[in-house]
Amino acid sequence: NKKKRFEGKQVLITAGPTYEKIDPVRFIGNHSSGKMGLALAHVFASEGAQVQLIAGPGNYLVTSEAITVTRVSSADDMFDAVSSRFDQADVSVFAAAVADYRPAAPAEEKIKKSGESMTIELVKNKDIAAEMGKRKVKNQINVGFALETEREEEYAQEKMAKKNFDMIVLNSLNDNGAGFSVDTNKITIFSVDQKPKLFPLKTKQVVAEDIVNCIYEKLQS
């Protein structure tokens, strides 16, 4: 009968990719499967938390009644879903791979093939984590992810500061078995007030347990 460490806590998690519409049949997306966010949702739920999972396109097999899933497609949709729930959250974890840009003017009809090249103008999406970082009040904890391919540590630290995260989980596409789609991940956790913690390659389920342990420690401090 393990003590449930997140009993009475509300946890908000973003997961998966976003799809940014080009026309009725095409979109700009990425390789996120939502597995990392889903694993976090289950670990938090098993620790007694009420979990709001804001999930981009993908397949999510949810096996806990403590998890409420809100399905979204674009970064804009995800922003609205997060924004309306953020103030209630004790802990928010931003595991989604959100598109930084979207097509400026999605076509109403399917775009026909014509010239030898074509250009799609993109405009910047709102940064969900950064906006919630501005809204965060005392006793709320925001945890980000950083997916990098170069200068990993430096960029992760930069993102933590810029988005006002209390912690950031770095995963690198240079590590085999880490990042998108796979069932495993290899992470380093940076924290505003602690030395970086390096973890070996593990299943996303166990990685999620490590992350939740770190968040619990942070809540205690």
**In the set 35, 136, 186, 218, which binds ligand PMT (CB under 6 A)?**
35
Residues 46-65 that bind ligand PMT (CB under 6 A): none
Length in residues, the chain: 221
86: amino acid identity, one letter: F
Task: Yes or no: say if 196 and 215 are a contact pair by the CB < 8 Å rule.
Answer: no
Contact status: 33 vs ligand PMT (CB under 6 A): yes
Q: Is 100 annotated as a binding residue?
A: yes
User: Can you tell me which residue has the tokens 């709001």?
Assistant: 52
Binding mask 140-179 for ligand PMT (x = CB under 6 A): ----xxxx-----------x---x-------x-------x
DSSP states of 128-177: HHHHHHHH--TT-EEEEEEEESSSHHHHHHHHHHHTT-SEEEEEETTSTT
Contact status: 218 vs ligand PMT (CB under 6 A): no
In the chain, how many H helices and how many E strands?
5, 14
CB of 115 to ligand PMT, least distance (A): 31
Task: Yes or no: say if 148 and 155 are a contact pair by the CB < 8 Å rule.
Answer: yes
Q: Is 163 annotated as a binding residue?
A: yes
Q: Per CB under 6 A, which region of 47-55, 63-71, 124-132, 209-217 contacts ligand PMT?
A: 124-132
Q: Is 195 annotated as a binding residue?
A: no
Rounded distance between C-alpha atoms, residue 22 and residue 28, angstroms: 7
CB of 163 to ligand PMT, least distance (A): 6
Q: CA gyration radius for the chain? A: 18
Contact status: 94 vs ligand PMT (CB under 6 A): yes
From 30, 139, 176, 185, the catalytic residue: 30
Rounded distance between C-alpha atoms, residue 9 and residue 69, angstroms: 17
Q: Is 171 among the catalytic positions?
A: no
Size of the site for ligand PMT (CB under 6 A): 28
Catalytic site residues? 30
The site for ligand PMT (CB under 6 A) is made up of 14, 16, 32-36, 75, 94-98, 100, 125, 127-129, 144-147, 159, 163, 171, 179-181
